């Protein structure tokens, strides 16, 4: 049976060239970078070269790149670390949006329990934050603004440059979760006035368990992980040398191929949107154009996302849903609710996220499989029967 992986927003397969770059640090150069002997020194040199490559990709300095275990740790450190420092200056107000990743939202919940005040901006039906609403929300006691670069579910790309300019005008620190955006859109932390930026390797064909946090020089968030003196004393833990090399390799590959690669992926995405929009009672979630190249998120009335995913899996298509029912929750995606979808429609969502490893043949197959599954599920759905009955009245 044909197998199509179309859930690259969740994770990506490790690229062969990235694995090749990592292998020496898994088998030969296995020393601890903090050691003084040659194997350790070689490992240390590899981590610093990787740090420089990562910095170059976003127009930062190597000393501004701090290695973490991934996007969630980077988000936690940026938000909690800055908040604790700014609280000492009497600033305990943080601004974010309603459809952030849970690594951000749960960090904010933890700070709220400690007495911080949180303002969540609306993202509206198109899935975009309005810069003017951020401008109006900033106060004298605002410590931090944290807005994701691109949404992990519906793929909408936020006006980061405008948001960064507003934060700079008010003298407020600006953090962005760029986990989905890194390698898919050009990023320049200087031009875009970004003070802190989170990234991870496994979203761009790198290894799981390794990420980074860019921290602009002069900013010192409170330390999140105590222990040794690694990462210039800011983040303890023996370095994952192979992972760091893999992160840098994945970043370099993604940035160097971005223009040609995203053009091809965008064309495939647009074919999917056009084809699946022909399904009765379907809707695209988020702005059609201001979205990640490979992201397509649609809702189909009268069905459940869980059933849609399971039937697609039987047909060899790996995708995901905005519905969280597969994780034991009966609630639909908070992202889809944030853009104003009612529960009954948000439950029937499908996210397909493509990468450069997908083909036009994959798209052809998905365009055939999804309508078949939607039709199959609607044939046994009392909700769809009610919808059709109401249409006749």
Just list the catalytic residues: 325
Q: Reduced to 3 states, what is the DSSP secondary structure of residue 197?
A: strand
* Cα(271)–Cα(266) distance, integer angstroms: 9
Write the burial class of residue 367 (CB in 10 Å: 0-12 exposed, 13-18 middle, 19+ buried).
Answer: middle
Alpha helices for the chain (secondary structure H): 16-22, 24-27, 38-57, 71-87, 102-113, 131-137, 160-170, 241-256, 258-276, 305-314, 334-338, 343-346, 360-379, 382-392
Ramachandran area for residue 47 (φ above 0: left; ψ -120 to 50: alpha; else beta): alpha
Query: In the chain, what are the helix, strand and coil shares in percent, each to the nearest 5?
Result: 45, 15, 40
The total of other beta-carbon atoms located within 10 Å of residue 13's CB is 12
The total of other beta-carbon atoms located within 10 Å of residue 326's CB is 12
- DSSP result, 208-235: TT-EEEEE-TT--PPPSS-SSSTGGGTS
| Token code pair at residue 95 | 């601004």
By C-alpha distance, which of 158, 204, 196, 178 is closest to 78?
196
* Cα(239)–Cα(19) distance, integer angstroms: 18
Q: What are phi and psi of 120, to 5 degrees?
A: -110, 115
| Token code pair at residue 38 | 């040659």
Q: Reduced to 3 states, what is the DSSP secondary structure of residue 114?
A: coil
Judge contact between 175 and 82, C-beta under 8 A.
yes
């Amino acid at each position: 049976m044909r197998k199509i992986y179309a859930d690259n927003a969740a994770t990506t397969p490790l690229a062969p060239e990235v694995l090749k770059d990592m292998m020496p640090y898994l088998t030969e150069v296995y020393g601890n970078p903090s050691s003084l002997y040659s194997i350790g020194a070689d490992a240390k040199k590899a981590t610093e070269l990787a740090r420089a490559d990562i910095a170059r990709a976003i127009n930062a300095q190597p000393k501004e790149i701090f290695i973490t275990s991934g996007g969630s740790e980077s988000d936690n450190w940026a938000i909690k670390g800055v908040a604790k420092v700014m609280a000492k200056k009497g600033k305990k107000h943080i601004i974010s949006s309603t459809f952030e990743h849970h690594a951000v939202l749960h960090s904010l919940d933890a700070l709220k329990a400690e007495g911080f005040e949180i303002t969540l901006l609306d993202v509206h039906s198109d899935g975009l934050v309005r810069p003017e609403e951020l401008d109006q929300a900033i106060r004298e006691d605002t410590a931090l603004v944290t807005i994701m670069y691109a949404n992990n579910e519906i793929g909408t790309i936020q006006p980061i440059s405008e948001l960064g300019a507003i934060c700079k005008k008010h003298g407020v620190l600006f953090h962005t979760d760029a986990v989905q955006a890194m390698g898919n859109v050009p990023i320049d932390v200087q031009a875009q006035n970004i003070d802190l930026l989170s990234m991870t390797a496994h979203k761009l064909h790198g290894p799981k368990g390794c990420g980074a946090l860019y921290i602009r020089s002069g900013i010192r968030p409170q330390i999140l992980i105590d222990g040794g003196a690694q990462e210039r004393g800011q983040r303890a833990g023996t370095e994952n040398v192979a992972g760091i090399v893999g992160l840098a390799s994945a970043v370099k590959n993604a940035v160097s191929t971005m223009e040609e690669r995203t053009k091809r992926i965008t064309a495939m995405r647009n074919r999917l949107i056009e084809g699946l929009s022909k399904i009765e009672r379907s809707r695209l979630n988020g702005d059609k154009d201001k979205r990640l190249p490979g992201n397509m998120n649609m809702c189909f009335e009268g069905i459940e996302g869980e059933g849609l995913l399971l039937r697609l899996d039987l047909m060899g298509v790996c995708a995901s849903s905005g519905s969280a029912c597969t994780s034991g929750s009966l609630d639909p995606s908070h992202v889809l609710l944030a853009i104003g979808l009612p529960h009954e429609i948000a439950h029937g969502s499908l996210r397909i996220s493509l990468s450069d490893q997908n083909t036009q043949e994959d798209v052809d197959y998905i365009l055939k499989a999804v309508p078949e599954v939607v039709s199959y599920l609607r044939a046994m759905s009392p909700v769809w029967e009610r919808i059709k009955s109401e249409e006749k009245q």
